[in-house]
Amino acid sequence: MVLTLKKIEHRGAEQIGIFLPYAAEANQKLKSIGAVYSATLRCWYMGYSVANYQLLQKNFDQIIIENPKPVNAKTAPVAGPESRDLPPIVTSASVNEKTDDRVTKFPEKTVEKAAQEHKAEIPLAQKLRLQLHENIGKYWVFSLNYHFAVSKELLKVKGIYWNKAQKVYMAMRMPGVKDKAEEILQIPGFFPADFFEKENPVSKDLILMVKPHIDDSRWMQVFIPPVFMLREKIKRFAMSRYSVPHGCYLLPAAPDVYKALTVHYEPEKVIFKNLLAAGYLKKENMPNQKQFLLQKAKNQVLEKIPETAREYMVAMMDTMLANNLSDSTIKSYGNAFYRFLHDNNFSNPATLDKKQIVKYLGGLMEKGLSSTTGHTLINALNYYYRLVENNLNIELKLPRPKKEKKLRVIFTPEECAAIFTTVDNPKHKLALMIAYGAGLRVGEVVTLKWGDILLAEQKIHVKNGKGKKDRMVMLPYSVLVLLENYRALHPGNDYVFGGQFAGAHYSKGSVQKVMAAALEKSGLSKKGSVHNLRHSFATHLIEAGTDIRYIQELLGHSSIKTTMIYTHVTNKAINRIQSPLDRLNLKPEDKNDNKNDKKV
Protein backbone atom coordinates (compact mmCIF):
# COMPACT_ATOMS: atom_id res chain seq x y z
CA MET A 1 0.00 0.00 0.00
CA VAL A 2 1.44 3.36 -1.10
CA LEU A 3 0.88 6.36 1.19
CA THR A 4 1.19 9.92 -0.10
CA LEU A 5 2.08 12.42 2.63
CA LYS A 6 1.44 16.12 2.31
CA LYS A 7 1.58 18.95 4.80
CA ILE A 8 -1.89 20.43 5.33
CA GLU A 9 -3.62 23.01 7.53
CA HIS A 10 -6.58 21.49 9.39
CA ARG A 11 -8.48 22.39 12.58
CA GLY A 12 -6.27 25.42 13.13
CA ALA A 13 -3.01 23.47 13.20
CA GLU A 14 -0.41 21.97 10.88
CA GLN A 15 -1.03 18.30 10.13
CA ILE A 16 0.49 15.48 8.10
CA GLY A 17 -2.12 14.68 5.43
CA ILE A 18 -2.19 10.96 4.52
CA PHE A 19 -3.69 10.11 1.12
CA LEU A 20 -4.27 6.52 -0.01
CA PRO A 21 -6.85 4.46 -1.89
CA TYR A 22 -9.46 2.74 0.23
CA ALA A 23 -8.20 -0.40 1.97
CA ALA A 24 -9.74 -1.82 5.14
CA GLU A 25 -6.46 -3.14 6.56
CA ALA A 26 -4.60 0.13 5.95
CA ASN A 27 -7.44 2.15 7.49
CA GLN A 28 -7.43 -0.08 10.55
CA LYS A 29 -3.66 0.30 10.94
CA LEU A 30 -3.86 4.09 10.62
CA LYS A 31 -6.58 4.21 13.24
CA SER A 32 -4.50 2.08 15.61
CA ILE A 33 -1.55 4.50 15.50
CA GLY A 34 -3.72 7.54 16.23
CA ALA A 35 -4.53 8.85 12.74
CA VAL A 36 -7.95 10.46 12.21
CA TYR A 37 -10.02 10.54 9.03
CA SER A 38 -11.26 13.91 7.75
CA ALA A 39 -14.43 13.67 5.67
CA THR A 40 -13.92 17.29 4.59
CA LEU A 41 -10.43 16.80 3.14
CA ARG A 42 -11.06 13.13 2.27
CA CYS A 43 -7.79 12.02 3.83
CA TRP A 44 -6.30 10.77 7.09
CA TYR A 45 -4.16 13.11 9.16
CA MET A 46 -1.83 13.18 12.19
CA GLY A 47 -0.11 15.95 14.10
CA TYR A 48 2.80 17.52 12.24
CA SER A 49 5.79 16.12 14.11
CA VAL A 50 8.89 14.02 13.49
CA ALA A 51 7.59 11.35 15.90
CA ASN A 52 4.43 10.84 13.86
CA TYR A 53 6.39 10.74 10.61
CA GLN A 54 8.68 8.07 12.05
CA LEU A 55 5.61 6.16 13.25
CA LEU A 56 4.25 6.14 9.69
CA GLN A 57 7.62 4.97 8.34
CA LYS A 58 7.64 2.14 10.85
CA ASN A 59 4.18 0.84 9.90
CA PHE A 60 4.20 1.45 6.12
CA ASP A 61 6.93 0.50 3.66
CA GLN A 62 6.00 2.64 0.66
CA ILE A 63 5.68 6.36 1.42
CA ILE A 64 5.70 9.23 -1.09
CA ILE A 65 6.14 12.80 0.15
CA GLU A 66 4.36 15.39 -1.96
CA ASN A 67 5.97 18.79 -1.35
CA PRO A 68 4.20 22.01 -2.44
CA LYS A 69 5.86 23.92 -5.27
CA PRO A 70 6.28 27.72 -5.48
CA VAL A 71 3.66 29.39 -7.66
CA ASN A 72 6.02 32.07 -8.96
CA ALA A 73 9.77 31.83 -9.26
CA LYS A 74 10.12 35.49 -8.17
CA THR A 75 8.79 34.78 -4.71
CA ALA A 76 10.86 33.85 -1.73
CA PRO A 77 11.67 30.20 -0.99
CA VAL A 78 8.65 28.12 -0.05
CA ALA A 79 9.65 27.84 3.58
CA GLY A 80 10.30 31.57 3.91
CA PRO A 81 8.31 33.70 6.33
CA GLU A 82 6.73 35.75 3.54
CA SER A 83 5.38 32.75 1.66
CA ARG A 84 1.76 31.67 2.09
CA ASP A 85 2.54 28.12 0.99
CA LEU A 86 3.12 25.55 3.67
CA PRO A 87 6.73 24.35 3.96
CA PRO A 88 7.40 20.79 2.84
CA ILE A 89 7.53 17.82 5.17
CA VAL A 90 11.07 17.59 6.54
CA THR A 91 12.55 14.11 6.72
CA SER A 92 15.79 12.95 8.22
CA ALA A 93 17.22 12.43 4.72
CA SER A 94 16.48 15.97 3.62
CA VAL A 95 17.85 17.76 6.71
CA ASN A 96 21.50 17.50 5.66
CA GLU A 97 20.90 18.48 2.04
CA LYS A 98 22.47 21.76 1.01
CA THR A 99 20.06 24.38 -0.23
CA ASP A 100 20.81 27.16 -2.68
CA ASP A 101 19.37 30.53 -1.71
CA ARG A 102 19.71 31.78 -5.28
CA VAL A 103 16.50 31.37 -7.25
CA THR A 104 16.54 31.32 -11.05
CA LYS A 105 14.25 34.00 -12.42
CA PHE A 106 12.22 33.43 -15.54
CA PRO A 107 10.07 35.93 -17.43
CA GLU A 108 6.51 35.98 -16.14
CA LYS A 109 5.01 35.24 -19.57
CA THR A 110 7.25 32.20 -19.99
CA VAL A 111 6.21 30.86 -16.59
CA GLU A 112 2.52 31.52 -17.30
CA LYS A 113 2.67 29.88 -20.72
CA ALA A 114 4.48 26.84 -19.36
CA ALA A 115 1.91 26.52 -16.58
CA GLN A 116 -0.96 26.67 -19.08
CA GLU A 117 0.63 24.07 -21.34
CA HIS A 118 1.32 21.81 -18.38
CA LYS A 119 -2.23 22.22 -17.15
CA ALA A 120 -3.71 21.35 -20.54
CA GLU A 121 -1.71 18.11 -20.74
CA ILE A 122 -3.05 16.66 -17.48
CA PRO A 123 -5.84 14.13 -18.28
CA LEU A 124 -9.09 14.17 -16.33
CA ALA A 125 -8.47 10.74 -14.77
CA GLN A 126 -5.20 11.97 -13.30
CA LYS A 127 -6.82 15.10 -11.90
CA LEU A 128 -9.53 13.02 -10.30
CA ARG A 129 -7.04 10.42 -9.00
CA LEU A 130 -9.28 7.76 -10.43
CA GLN A 131 -8.75 4.29 -8.92
CA LEU A 132 -10.41 0.93 -9.58
CA HIS A 133 -10.87 -1.38 -6.60
CA GLU A 134 -11.78 -5.04 -6.19
CA ASN A 135 -15.23 -6.06 -7.45
CA ILE A 136 -18.05 -6.54 -4.98
CA GLY A 137 -20.62 -8.98 -6.29
CA LYS A 138 -22.16 -7.59 -9.47
CA TYR A 139 -20.53 -4.16 -9.08
CA TRP A 140 -17.31 -2.50 -10.18
CA VAL A 141 -15.97 -0.34 -7.36
CA PHE A 142 -14.02 2.84 -8.06
CA SER A 143 -13.09 6.05 -6.28
CA LEU A 144 -12.10 9.56 -7.34
CA ASN A 145 -11.56 13.00 -5.87
CA TYR A 146 -14.80 14.92 -5.52
CA HIS A 147 -15.73 16.84 -8.66
CA PHE A 148 -19.22 18.37 -8.74
CA ALA A 149 -19.83 18.08 -12.51
CA VAL A 150 -18.36 14.56 -12.86
CA SER A 151 -20.18 13.22 -9.79
CA LYS A 152 -23.46 14.68 -10.99
CA GLU A 153 -23.13 13.06 -14.41
CA LEU A 154 -22.09 9.70 -12.95
CA LEU A 155 -25.10 9.52 -10.65
CA LYS A 156 -27.40 10.23 -13.61
CA VAL A 157 -26.36 6.91 -15.15
CA LYS A 158 -28.74 4.11 -14.26
CA GLY A 159 -26.69 1.46 -12.49
CA ILE A 160 -24.12 3.73 -10.80
CA TYR A 161 -24.50 4.40 -7.09
CA TRP A 162 -22.59 6.23 -4.35
CA ASN A 163 -21.63 4.13 -1.33
CA LYS A 164 -21.59 6.65 1.51
CA ALA A 165 -20.12 4.24 4.08
CA GLN A 166 -17.05 3.31 2.02
CA LYS A 167 -16.77 6.60 0.07
CA VAL A 168 -16.71 4.81 -3.30
CA TYR A 169 -18.83 4.56 -6.43
CA MET A 170 -20.42 1.25 -7.40
CA ALA A 171 -21.25 0.52 -11.04
CA MET A 172 -23.21 -2.43 -12.37
CA ARG A 173 -20.96 -4.74 -14.39
CA MET A 174 -22.90 -4.26 -17.61
CA PRO A 175 -21.69 -3.11 -21.08
CA GLY A 176 -24.04 -0.10 -21.21
CA VAL A 177 -22.93 1.18 -17.80
CA LYS A 178 -19.28 0.64 -18.77
CA ASP A 179 -19.57 2.73 -21.96
CA LYS A 180 -21.40 5.65 -20.30
CA ALA A 181 -19.09 5.77 -17.27
CA GLU A 182 -15.91 5.64 -19.38
CA GLU A 183 -17.27 8.41 -21.59
CA ILE A 184 -17.86 10.65 -18.54
CA LEU A 185 -14.48 9.82 -17.02
CA GLN A 186 -12.74 10.26 -20.41
CA ILE A 187 -10.73 7.05 -20.05
CA PRO A 188 -11.69 4.22 -22.45
CA GLY A 189 -11.02 0.71 -21.20
CA PHE A 190 -10.97 1.72 -17.53
CA PHE A 191 -13.40 -1.01 -16.49
CA PRO A 192 -12.55 -4.65 -17.31
CA ALA A 193 -14.83 -6.79 -19.45
CA ASP A 194 -15.80 -9.12 -16.58
CA PHE A 195 -19.51 -8.45 -17.01
CA PHE A 196 -21.95 -9.88 -14.50
CA GLU A 197 -23.78 -13.03 -15.52
CA LYS A 198 -26.54 -14.64 -13.55
CA GLU A 199 -25.15 -17.88 -12.26
CA ASN A 200 -25.18 -19.91 -9.09
CA PRO A 201 -22.60 -18.04 -6.98
CA VAL A 202 -22.32 -20.76 -4.35
CA SER A 203 -20.51 -23.99 -4.99
CA LYS A 204 -21.44 -27.20 -3.21
CA ASP A 205 -17.81 -27.63 -2.15
CA LEU A 206 -17.75 -24.50 0.01
CA ILE A 207 -17.22 -25.15 3.71
CA LEU A 208 -18.46 -22.99 6.59
CA MET A 209 -16.30 -23.74 9.62
CA VAL A 210 -17.25 -23.09 13.26
CA LYS A 211 -14.46 -23.19 15.88
CA PRO A 212 -14.22 -22.41 19.59
CA HIS A 213 -12.79 -19.04 20.58
CA ILE A 214 -9.43 -19.56 22.29
CA ASP A 215 -9.50 -16.39 24.39
CA ASP A 216 -13.19 -16.22 25.34
CA SER A 217 -15.42 -19.29 25.55
CA ARG A 218 -18.56 -17.12 25.40
CA TRP A 219 -17.98 -16.71 21.67
CA MET A 220 -17.53 -19.03 18.70
CA GLN A 221 -15.47 -18.30 15.61
CA VAL A 222 -17.27 -18.54 12.26
CA PHE A 223 -15.10 -18.79 9.14
CA ILE A 224 -17.11 -17.80 6.06
CA PRO A 225 -15.99 -18.83 2.52
CA PRO A 226 -14.79 -15.89 0.37
CA VAL A 227 -18.12 -15.44 -1.39
CA PHE A 228 -19.78 -12.04 -1.36
CA MET A 229 -23.32 -13.27 -0.73
CA LEU A 230 -22.29 -15.53 2.15
CA ARG A 231 -20.33 -12.78 3.88
CA GLU A 232 -23.18 -10.31 3.47
CA LYS A 233 -25.48 -12.74 5.23
CA ILE A 234 -23.31 -13.04 8.33
CA LYS A 235 -23.21 -9.24 8.59
CA ARG A 236 -26.97 -9.20 9.03
CA PHE A 237 -26.72 -11.06 12.34
CA ALA A 238 -27.35 -8.43 15.00
CA MET A 239 -24.67 -9.83 17.34
CA SER A 240 -21.98 -10.68 14.80
CA ARG A 241 -18.57 -9.02 15.12
CA TYR A 242 -15.60 -9.30 12.82
CA SER A 243 -12.29 -10.17 14.48
CA VAL A 244 -9.33 -8.75 12.56
CA PRO A 245 -6.63 -10.76 14.43
CA HIS A 246 -8.42 -14.06 13.86
CA GLY A 247 -9.81 -13.26 10.40
CA CYS A 248 -13.28 -14.53 11.19
CA TYR A 249 -16.69 -13.49 12.51
CA LEU A 250 -17.65 -13.94 16.16
CA LEU A 251 -21.07 -15.01 17.39
CA PRO A 252 -22.30 -15.82 20.92
CA ALA A 253 -21.69 -19.50 21.71
CA ALA A 254 -25.35 -20.27 22.38
CA PRO A 255 -27.48 -23.10 20.96
CA ASP A 256 -30.12 -20.72 19.56
CA VAL A 257 -27.47 -18.72 17.70
CA TYR A 258 -25.92 -21.86 16.17
CA LYS A 259 -29.35 -23.08 15.12
CA ALA A 260 -30.12 -19.71 13.54
CA LEU A 261 -26.78 -19.88 11.70
CA THR A 262 -27.58 -23.26 10.16
CA VAL A 263 -31.07 -22.14 9.13
CA HIS A 264 -29.64 -18.92 7.69
CA TYR A 265 -27.28 -20.76 5.33
CA GLU A 266 -29.49 -23.76 4.54
CA PRO A 267 -30.62 -22.45 1.10
CA GLU A 268 -26.98 -22.11 -0.07
CA LYS A 269 -26.26 -25.83 0.60
CA VAL A 270 -22.86 -25.04 2.14
CA ILE A 271 -21.08 -27.73 4.15
CA PHE A 272 -21.09 -27.05 7.92
CA LYS A 273 -17.93 -28.15 9.70
CA ASN A 274 -18.55 -27.98 13.46
CA LEU A 275 -15.31 -28.17 15.47
CA LEU A 276 -16.94 -27.20 18.76
CA ALA A 277 -16.50 -29.55 21.69
CA ALA A 278 -19.50 -31.18 23.31
CA GLY A 279 -21.11 -28.81 25.78
CA TYR A 280 -19.34 -25.73 24.35
CA LEU A 281 -22.64 -24.14 23.36
CA LYS A 282 -24.36 -22.87 26.49
CA LYS A 283 -27.62 -21.02 26.89
CA GLU A 284 -26.10 -18.56 29.38
CA ASN A 285 -23.65 -17.36 26.71
CA MET A 286 -26.54 -15.63 24.97
CA PRO A 287 -26.24 -12.02 26.17
CA ASN A 288 -29.45 -10.33 27.23
CA GLN A 289 -30.50 -7.28 25.32
CA LYS A 290 -29.28 -4.78 27.91
CA GLN A 291 -25.88 -6.44 28.17
CA PHE A 292 -25.47 -6.57 24.41
CA LEU A 293 -26.45 -2.93 23.88
CA LEU A 294 -24.16 -1.69 26.67
CA GLN A 295 -21.19 -3.68 25.34
CA LYS A 296 -21.86 -2.49 21.82
CA ALA A 297 -22.07 1.18 22.87
CA LYS A 298 -18.88 0.86 24.93
CA ASN A 299 -16.87 -0.89 22.20
CA GLN A 300 -17.95 1.56 19.49
CA VAL A 301 -16.42 4.43 21.45
CA LEU A 302 -13.34 2.68 22.83
CA GLU A 303 -12.18 1.39 19.45
CA LYS A 304 -11.61 4.98 18.27
CA ILE A 305 -9.41 6.00 21.22
CA PRO A 306 -5.60 5.71 20.91
CA GLU A 307 -3.71 4.01 23.71
CA THR A 308 -2.31 7.32 25.00
CA ALA A 309 -5.78 8.56 25.98
CA ARG A 310 -7.54 5.27 26.61
CA GLU A 311 -7.43 5.62 30.41
CA TYR A 312 -9.56 8.80 30.33
CA MET A 313 -12.29 7.19 28.24
CA VAL A 314 -12.23 3.93 30.22
CA ALA A 315 -12.71 5.91 33.45
CA MET A 316 -15.63 7.74 31.83
CA MET A 317 -17.20 4.47 30.65
CA ASP A 318 -16.79 2.72 34.01
CA THR A 319 -18.46 5.62 35.81
CA MET A 320 -21.41 5.70 33.40
CA LEU A 321 -21.88 1.92 33.70
CA ALA A 322 -21.68 2.12 37.50
CA ASN A 323 -24.40 4.80 37.46
CA ASN A 324 -26.58 2.51 35.30
CA LEU A 325 -26.89 4.92 32.39
CA SER A 326 -28.62 3.69 29.26
CA ASP A 327 -26.73 2.55 26.17
CA SER A 328 -27.90 5.58 24.19
CA THR A 329 -26.61 7.97 26.89
CA ILE A 330 -23.29 6.09 27.06
CA LYS A 331 -22.95 6.33 23.30
CA SER A 332 -23.84 10.03 23.06
CA TYR A 333 -21.72 11.09 26.07
CA GLY A 334 -18.86 8.86 24.94
CA ASN A 335 -18.81 10.27 21.40
CA ALA A 336 -19.02 13.83 22.72
CA PHE A 337 -16.16 13.23 25.15
CA TYR A 338 -14.12 11.60 22.37
CA ARG A 339 -14.59 14.72 20.26
CA PHE A 340 -13.36 16.85 23.16
CA LEU A 341 -10.27 14.65 23.65
CA HIS A 342 -9.52 14.56 19.93
CA ASP A 343 -9.78 18.31 19.46
CA ASN A 344 -7.42 18.81 22.41
CA ASN A 345 -4.79 16.35 21.07
CA PHE A 346 -5.85 13.67 23.59
CA SER A 347 -4.23 15.56 26.46
CA ASN A 348 -5.21 14.98 30.08
CA PRO A 349 -8.58 16.74 30.64
CA ALA A 350 -7.58 17.55 34.23
CA THR A 351 -4.89 19.94 32.94
CA LEU A 352 -7.47 22.16 31.16
CA ASP A 353 -9.10 25.02 33.03
CA LYS A 354 -12.52 26.61 32.61
CA LYS A 355 -11.30 29.41 30.33
CA GLN A 356 -9.75 26.95 27.89
CA ILE A 357 -12.92 24.86 27.76
CA VAL A 358 -15.18 27.89 27.23
CA LYS A 359 -12.88 29.11 24.46
CA TYR A 360 -13.02 25.68 22.84
CA LEU A 361 -16.84 25.62 22.96
CA GLY A 362 -17.02 29.14 21.58
CA GLY A 363 -14.86 28.09 18.65
CA LEU A 364 -17.18 25.18 17.89
CA MET A 365 -20.25 27.42 17.97
CA GLU A 366 -18.49 29.87 15.68
CA LYS A 367 -17.98 27.05 13.18
CA GLY A 368 -21.73 26.34 13.17
CA LEU A 369 -22.12 23.56 15.75
CA SER A 370 -25.81 22.84 16.37
CA SER A 371 -27.24 23.66 19.78
CA THR A 372 -28.32 20.04 20.34
CA THR A 373 -24.78 18.78 19.84
CA GLY A 374 -23.52 21.61 22.03
CA HIS A 375 -25.86 20.61 24.87
CA THR A 376 -24.72 16.99 24.67
CA LEU A 377 -21.05 18.02 24.71
CA ILE A 378 -21.54 20.23 27.77
CA ASN A 379 -23.47 17.50 29.61
CA ALA A 380 -20.66 15.03 28.90
CA LEU A 381 -17.97 17.44 30.13
CA ASN A 382 -19.89 18.28 33.30
CA TYR A 383 -20.39 14.56 33.93
CA TYR A 384 -16.68 13.84 33.53
CA TYR A 385 -15.36 16.65 35.70
CA ARG A 386 -18.01 16.18 38.39
CA LEU A 387 -18.12 12.38 38.72
CA VAL A 388 -14.94 11.02 37.12
CA GLU A 389 -12.38 13.60 38.24
CA ASN A 390 -14.29 14.07 41.52
CA ASN A 391 -12.74 17.50 41.96
CA LEU A 392 -15.18 19.49 44.11
CA ASN A 393 -13.08 22.64 43.79
CA ILE A 394 -13.87 22.86 40.08
CA GLU A 395 -17.52 23.15 39.15
CA LEU A 396 -17.94 23.98 35.50
CA LYS A 397 -20.93 26.17 34.83
CA LEU A 398 -20.44 26.33 31.12
CA PRO A 399 -22.57 28.68 29.01
CA ARG A 400 -25.46 26.83 27.47
CA PRO A 401 -25.99 27.44 23.77
CA LYS A 402 -29.47 28.69 22.98
CA LYS A 403 -31.47 26.00 21.26
CA GLU A 404 -33.00 26.69 17.89
CA LYS A 405 -36.78 26.47 17.77
CA LYS A 406 -37.71 24.40 14.77
CA LEU A 407 -41.18 23.39 13.66
CA ARG A 408 -41.80 19.67 14.07
CA VAL A 409 -43.03 17.62 11.16
CA ILE A 410 -46.61 16.63 11.94
CA PHE A 411 -48.61 14.25 9.75
CA THR A 412 -52.34 14.86 9.39
CA PRO A 413 -54.68 11.94 10.15
CA GLU A 414 -55.20 11.48 6.40
CA GLU A 415 -51.44 11.36 5.83
CA CYS A 416 -51.01 8.81 8.62
CA ALA A 417 -53.68 6.62 6.99
CA ALA A 418 -51.90 6.95 3.63
CA ILE A 419 -48.62 5.80 5.23
CA PHE A 420 -50.21 2.73 6.85
CA THR A 421 -52.07 1.63 3.70
CA THR A 422 -48.83 1.49 1.68
CA VAL A 423 -47.33 -1.15 4.02
CA ASP A 424 -48.26 -4.73 3.08
CA ASN A 425 -46.16 -6.67 5.60
CA PRO A 426 -48.33 -7.31 8.72
CA LYS A 427 -45.36 -7.02 11.09
CA HIS A 428 -44.23 -3.68 9.61
CA LYS A 429 -47.74 -2.24 9.49
CA LEU A 430 -48.45 -3.25 13.08
CA ALA A 431 -45.23 -1.61 14.33
CA LEU A 432 -46.06 1.73 12.69
CA MET A 433 -49.70 1.66 13.79
CA ILE A 434 -48.76 1.02 17.45
CA ALA A 435 -46.14 3.79 17.33
CA TYR A 436 -48.84 6.25 16.24
CA GLY A 437 -51.83 4.78 18.09
CA ALA A 438 -50.10 4.65 21.49
CA GLY A 439 -47.54 7.45 21.04
CA LEU A 440 -44.57 5.13 21.62
CA ARG A 441 -40.92 5.81 20.89
CA VAL A 442 -39.29 3.50 18.35
CA GLY A 443 -37.22 1.85 21.12
CA GLU A 444 -40.41 1.19 23.09
CA VAL A 445 -42.07 -0.37 20.04
CA VAL A 446 -39.34 -2.92 19.32
CA THR A 447 -38.91 -3.94 22.99
CA LEU A 448 -42.65 -4.50 23.48
CA LYS A 449 -43.44 -8.00 24.83
CA TRP A 450 -46.67 -9.96 24.64
CA GLY A 451 -46.84 -9.88 28.43
CA ASP A 452 -46.92 -6.07 28.31
CA ILE A 453 -50.15 -6.05 26.29
CA LEU A 454 -53.13 -6.16 28.67
CA LEU A 455 -56.01 -7.16 26.39
CA ALA A 456 -58.65 -7.24 29.16
CA GLU A 457 -57.83 -3.67 30.22
CA GLN A 458 -57.11 -2.38 26.70
CA LYS A 459 -53.76 -1.07 27.94
CA ILE A 460 -50.09 -1.36 27.06
CA HIS A 461 -47.60 -1.48 29.92
CA VAL A 462 -44.49 0.35 28.70
CA LYS A 463 -41.57 -0.88 30.80
CA ASN A 464 -38.19 0.76 31.24
CA GLY A 465 -38.92 3.68 28.91
CA LYS A 466 -36.79 6.78 28.56
CA GLY A 467 -35.40 7.74 31.96
CA LYS A 468 -35.99 4.11 33.12
CA LYS A 469 -39.67 4.89 33.79
CA ASP A 470 -42.74 2.67 33.37
CA ARG A 471 -46.12 3.99 32.24
CA MET A 472 -49.52 2.84 31.03
CA VAL A 473 -50.86 3.85 27.61
CA MET A 474 -53.97 2.94 25.68
CA LEU A 475 -54.15 -0.07 23.36
CA PRO A 476 -55.87 1.09 20.15
CA TYR A 477 -58.96 -0.94 19.27
CA SER A 478 -57.94 -0.73 15.62
CA VAL A 479 -55.00 -3.12 16.11
CA LEU A 480 -56.76 -5.87 18.10
CA VAL A 481 -57.53 -8.02 15.08
CA LEU A 482 -54.08 -7.40 13.62
CA LEU A 483 -52.48 -8.42 16.92
CA GLU A 484 -54.47 -11.65 17.16
CA ASN A 485 -53.68 -12.66 13.58
CA TYR A 486 -50.03 -11.72 13.98
CA ARG A 487 -49.64 -13.70 17.22
CA ALA A 488 -51.14 -16.76 15.55
CA LEU A 489 -48.31 -16.57 13.01
CA HIS A 490 -45.58 -16.08 15.68
CA PRO A 491 -46.72 -18.05 18.74
CA GLY A 492 -43.31 -18.77 20.33
CA ASN A 493 -41.83 -15.29 20.60
CA ASP A 494 -41.60 -13.31 23.82
CA TYR A 495 -41.25 -10.04 21.94
CA VAL A 496 -44.14 -8.82 19.81
CA PHE A 497 -41.67 -7.93 17.07
CA GLY A 498 -39.05 -10.67 17.09
CA GLY A 499 -35.57 -10.26 15.63
CA GLN A 500 -33.17 -12.57 13.84
CA PHE A 501 -32.32 -14.67 16.90
CA ALA A 502 -34.67 -16.48 19.21
CA GLY A 503 -35.13 -14.24 22.23
CA ALA A 504 -34.00 -11.06 20.44
CA HIS A 505 -36.25 -8.20 19.37
CA TYR A 506 -36.52 -6.33 16.08
CA SER A 507 -33.96 -3.57 15.52
CA LYS A 508 -34.84 0.13 15.65
CA GLY A 509 -33.03 0.73 12.37
CA SER A 510 -35.25 -1.80 10.59
CA VAL A 511 -38.42 -0.01 11.76
CA GLN A 512 -36.98 3.32 10.60
CA LYS A 513 -36.29 1.81 7.17
CA VAL A 514 -39.89 0.58 7.02
CA MET A 515 -41.09 4.11 7.78
CA ALA A 516 -38.82 5.62 5.13
CA ALA A 517 -40.01 3.13 2.50
CA ALA A 518 -43.66 3.80 3.42
CA LEU A 519 -43.17 7.57 3.10
CA GLU A 520 -41.56 7.20 -0.31
CA LYS A 521 -44.26 4.83 -1.52
CA SER A 522 -47.08 7.07 -0.25
CA GLY A 523 -45.80 10.00 -2.32
CA LEU A 524 -46.00 12.49 0.56
CA SER A 525 -43.76 15.52 0.32
CA LYS A 526 -43.17 15.59 4.09
CA LYS A 527 -40.09 13.87 5.47
CA GLY A 528 -40.00 12.26 8.89
CA SER A 529 -39.25 9.23 11.02
CA VAL A 530 -41.15 6.96 13.41
CA HIS A 531 -40.75 9.64 16.10
CA ASN A 532 -42.83 12.00 13.95
CA LEU A 533 -45.72 9.56 14.39
CA ARG A 534 -45.38 10.15 18.13
CA HIS A 535 -45.45 13.92 17.54
CA SER A 536 -48.56 13.47 15.40
CA PHE A 537 -50.21 11.39 18.16
CA ALA A 538 -49.74 14.19 20.72
CA THR A 539 -50.80 16.95 18.32
CA HIS A 540 -53.97 15.14 17.26
CA LEU A 541 -54.94 14.57 20.91
CA ILE A 542 -54.55 18.31 21.61
CA GLU A 543 -56.65 19.14 18.53
CA ALA A 544 -59.34 16.78 19.86
CA GLY A 545 -59.44 18.71 23.17
CA THR A 546 -57.61 16.19 25.42
CA ASP A 547 -56.27 17.68 28.65
CA ILE A 548 -52.53 18.28 28.43
CA ARG A 549 -51.94 16.56 31.80
CA TYR A 550 -53.24 13.28 30.35
CA ILE A 551 -51.05 13.72 27.30
CA GLN A 552 -48.05 14.26 29.58
CA GLU A 553 -48.69 10.90 31.27
CA LEU A 554 -49.24 9.09 27.97
CA LEU A 555 -45.99 10.43 26.52
CA GLY A 556 -44.02 9.75 29.71
CA HIS A 557 -42.74 13.31 30.17
CA SER A 558 -41.30 14.23 33.57
CA SER A 559 -42.07 17.93 33.13
CA ILE A 560 -45.18 19.56 31.72
CA LYS A 561 -42.86 22.01 29.93
CA THR A 562 -41.78 19.22 27.60
CA THR A 563 -45.39 18.44 26.72
CA MET A 564 -46.17 22.14 26.16
CA ILE A 565 -44.19 22.08 22.92
CA TYR A 566 -47.16 20.28 21.37
CA THR A 567 -49.40 23.27 22.01
CA HIS A 568 -47.93 24.91 18.92
CA VAL A 569 -50.25 26.37 16.32
CA THR A 570 -51.95 23.46 14.57
CA ASN A 571 -53.43 23.33 11.09
CA LYS A 572 -56.97 23.40 12.42
CA ALA A 573 -56.22 26.49 14.50
CA ILE A 574 -54.67 28.23 11.50
CA ASN A 575 -57.71 27.44 9.35
CA ARG A 576 -60.02 29.07 11.91
CA ILE A 577 -58.05 32.32 12.02
CA GLN A 578 -58.93 35.04 9.53
CA SER A 579 -56.33 37.52 8.33
CA PRO A 580 -57.19 41.17 9.26
CA LEU A 581 -56.57 42.08 5.62
CA ASP A 582 -59.49 39.90 4.56
CA ARG A 583 -61.79 41.70 7.01
CA LEU A 584 -61.24 45.02 5.22
CA ASN A 585 -63.17 43.73 2.22
CA LEU A 586 -61.08 45.76 -0.21
CA LYS A 587 -61.34 45.39 -3.98
CA PRO A 588 -57.99 46.55 -5.33
CA GLU A 589 -58.94 46.00 -8.94
CA ASP A 590 -61.91 48.41 -8.68
CA LYS A 591 -59.84 51.15 -7.04
CA ASN A 592 -57.16 50.88 -9.71
CA ASP A 593 -59.76 51.24 -12.45
CA ASN A 594 -61.12 54.45 -10.86
CA LYS A 595 -57.66 55.98 -10.57
CA ASN A 596 -56.96 55.26 -14.21
CA ASP A 597 -60.22 56.90 -15.27
CA LYS A 598 -59.34 60.13 -13.42
CA LYS A 599 -55.93 60.32 -15.07
CA VAL A 600 -57.46 60.00 -18.51
**What is the C-alpha to C-alpha distance for residues 431 and 194, in angstroms, rounded to an integer?**
43
Would you say 365 and 401 are in contact if contact means Cβ atoms under 8 Å apart?
yes
Known catalytic residue at 531: yes
Q: Which pLDDT value is given to residue 22?
A: 76
pLDDT single digits (tens) 10-43: 877 888 999 888 777 888 888 888 888 887 788 8
Catalytic residue among 6, 178, 427, 557: 557
When the pLDDT of each residue in the chain is averaged and rounded to a whole number, the result is: 80
In the annotation, is 557 catalytic? yes
Mean pLDDT of 46-62: 86
Q: Which of the following is catalytic: 180, 441, 535, 540?
A: 441
Angle (nearest 5°) at CA 40 between 35 and 43: 40
Among candidate residues 449, 463, 531, 568, the one labeled active-site is 531
State how far the Cα of 499 lies from the Cα of 264, in Å rounded to an integer: 13
% of the chain surpassing 90 pLDDT = 19
Mean pLDDT of 319-333: 89
Q: Which of 384, 436, 506, 566 is catalytic?
A: 566
User: Which structural domains are found in the chain, ordered by start?
Assistant: 2-96+103-112 (no CATH), 125-185 (no CATH), 207-285 (3.40.1170.30), 289-388 (1.10.150.130), 413-573 (1.10.443.10)
User: Is 339 an active-site residue?
Assistant: no
Q: What is the pLDDT of residue 281?
A: 92
When comparing pLDDT for 356 and 101, which is higher? Answer: 356
Question: Which one of 178, 534, 535, 540 is the catalytic residue?
Answer: 534
Report phi then psi at 396, rounded to 5.
-80, 115
* 196: pLDDT strictly greater than 60: yes
Strand partners, 168: 163
Q: Tell me, what amino acid is at 56?
A: L
Given 466, 471, 521, 568, the catalytic residue = 466
Q: Annotate 439-457 with b (16+ C-beta within 10 A) or e (fewer).
A: bbbbbbbbbbeeebbeeee
**Mean pLDDT of the 179-197 span:** 88
Q: Give the CA radius of gyration of the chain.
A: 31
pLDDT digits (tens, 9 = 90+) for 368-396: 888 778 888 888 988 888 888 876 655 65
User: What pLDDT is stored for residue 433 in this prediction?
Assistant: 93
Residue 262: half-sphere exposure toward Cβ, Cα within 13 Å: 10
CA 190 to chain centre: 32
pLDDT tens by residue, 436-484: 999 999 989 998 988 899 888 889 999 877 777 888 999 888 888 888 8
Spatial CA neighbour of 48 closest among 83, 97, 90, 96: 90
Active site residue 566: yes
